[in-house]
Structures are given as structure tokens and as C-alpha cells.
Amino acid sequence: MFKNCLENVRNTVPLVHNITNYVTVNDVANVILACGGSPIMSDEAEDVEDITSVCGGLNINIGTLHKTSIEAMFRAGRRANELAHPILLDPVGAGASALRTKTALSLMTELKLSAVRGNISEVKTLARGSGTTKGVDADVADAVTEESLDDSVAFVKEFAQKARCIIAVTGAIDLVSDGKLCYVIRNGRPEMGKITGTGCQLSGIMAAYLTANPSAQLEAAAAAVCMMGLAGEIGWSRMQEGDGNSTYRNRIIDAVCNMTGEELEKGAKYELR
């Protein structure tokens, strides 16, 4: 039950080590706190092994890669693997540059990941081993729609099997699969795309959920997706005349902060395939 997943986060306050981009890092920290976790950020290679060791999970986001932070990602990842901590990879902009694509693929090869969360274009790039995406947003041609849903579910399942980790593709319809089952999730609002970093925020939440729910990883990942989408719906319902994307950002994090297990259970819109 998603309710349990949420409550496990709030009760255990998982400490999540984030190596993430400097664009959305503050929102990632606040949303991890909002969902019940505790964030710590460190991307200096000489610092990350110690930091990962005091944490319970690792969130790697390649949104603003630096050569020095790449080394930090591998060192933190290897240490997290030794400690059997869950690792989530958010391959921001994979396909938009050779460095991003190469780094994301190497992280998938050299580390044992628990989950990869990205938009459909980023995930297709990783599945193909190469590719192009238009910036950090998903290409319209790739979008998961009701029409392409069967194919998309099959694709995500297959890639999850091949990658041996949970694959979460988020967009208008979200897909979360461990290779066997696939959650098809219809929470969220299109206006969330007008805020920078809602994807990064979801990755932070998901890392906290994975850390707090070791025996229910797929369900935890899906619950995180539903929480973020539902928060987008609740936040939107509180918008007043004159409010725009900056206020919406605050209201979404506020909604995560106030969400109870019952509300998540009731508001989650998904089917299992």
C-alpha cells in the first residue's frame, strides 16, 4: 500500500545523499524534507564516500555535470553499492550532449542502480545507447500517450529487465516498471512542466522512498510518482488569480509537506499492467 510507503518515509526519516545540479538543488532539498526525508548534498570527490556512508540512499542527477562531479558520482556510487544503499539515477539531458549520454550510460554499467527516473526521451536514449533529445524536455514525438501506451509499457518493461533496475518514465502518463509489472500512473498537471525541476524533485522524493522501503522497491517508486503528481493537483487547486509558476512551485512542495498516507492512497490514480 502506498500509505505504508509514505509512512515509512515519515517514520524513519531516511538520510539521502544527493549529487545533483545547482539549478534545482534547493527545491530538491526542501521537497525531500517535505516528504519526510533528510537531504545532504556533497559532490566533491574527496567528500562523497564519507557522506554516503552516513546516509541511507543516493540520488545522482546529471543536470549540471562537471568533470569533478562525475568522479564524485562514481566514487559515491561504488561506496553506496558496498553498503547496499539504493541508488537512483536521474539522467537529465541524456541525449542532448555526448558527455551526458556517455556519463549516464557509464553510471548504469558500472554501478548497480535501484532505479532510473527520466523523461521518455532521456530513457529512450539510454535504452538505445545513444540518441538526441531537444534540451532537457521530452521530445513530443516520443511522448507516452493513450495511443502509444501498449508499446510504451512494453518498452519500459523490456528496458527494466535489461537494465535490472526500476525504470520510471514520467510525463503526461507515468510508467514505473521493474521488468515484470508496470504501474501506469495518471496523476499530475501539465502546468508542472512550466516549473523548473519538478522532475528533479520527484527523483529526490523517490530516492527517499526507496531508502525507507527496502522490501517494496517497485511500490515505493510508484508511490513517489503518485505523491508528486497528486501534490501537483493539490497545489494547482490552491492557485489564485494572478498566481503563476513561482507560486505553483511553492504550493507543490507545500502539498508534499502536508500529504498524509490516507490522502496519497485515495488520490493515487494508477493501474497495474
Contact 207, 220 (CB under 8 A): no
Count of residues near a second copy by CB under 8 A: 65
50 binds a second copy (CB under 8 A): yes
127 binds a second copy (CB under 8 A): no
Q: Which one, 145 or 237, has the nearer CB to a second copy?
A: 237
Contact 15, 38 (CB under 8 A): yes
Binding mask 223-242 for a second copy (x = CB under 8 A): -----------x---x---x
In whole angstroms, what is the distance from residue 255 CA to residue 259 CA? 6
In whole angstroms, what is the distance from residue 5 CA to residue 214 CA? 10
158 binds a second copy (CB under 8 A): no
Q: Which of 100, 124, 157, 189 is close enough to bind a second copy by CB under 8 A?
A: 100
Give the containing element (helix H, strand E) for 91: none
Residue 246 CB partners (closer than 8 Å, separation 6+): none
15 binds a second copy (CB under 8 A): yes
Least distance to a second copy, CB of residue 153, Å: 28
Q: How far are the Cα atoms of 74, 147, 195 from residue 255, in angstroms, in the given order? A: 34, 31, 15
In whole angstroms, what is the distance from residue 245 CA to residue 252 CA? 10
Give the containing element (helix H, strand E) for 181: none
* Region class of 255: left (phi > 0), else alpha (psi between -120 and 50), else beta: alpha
Identify which range of 77-85, 96-104, 176-184, 209-217 contacts a second copy by CB under 8 A: 96-104
99 binds a second copy (CB under 8 A): yes
Q: Which one, 66 or 128, has the nearer CB to a second copy?
A: 66
Q: Which of 4, 33, 161, 186 is close enough to bind a second copy by CB under 8 A?
A: 33
Chain residues binding a second copy by CB under 8 A are: 15, 21-27, 29-30, 33-34, 38-44, 46-47, 50-51, 54-55, 63-68, 93, 96-100, 132-137, 194-197, 234, 238, 242-247, 249-258
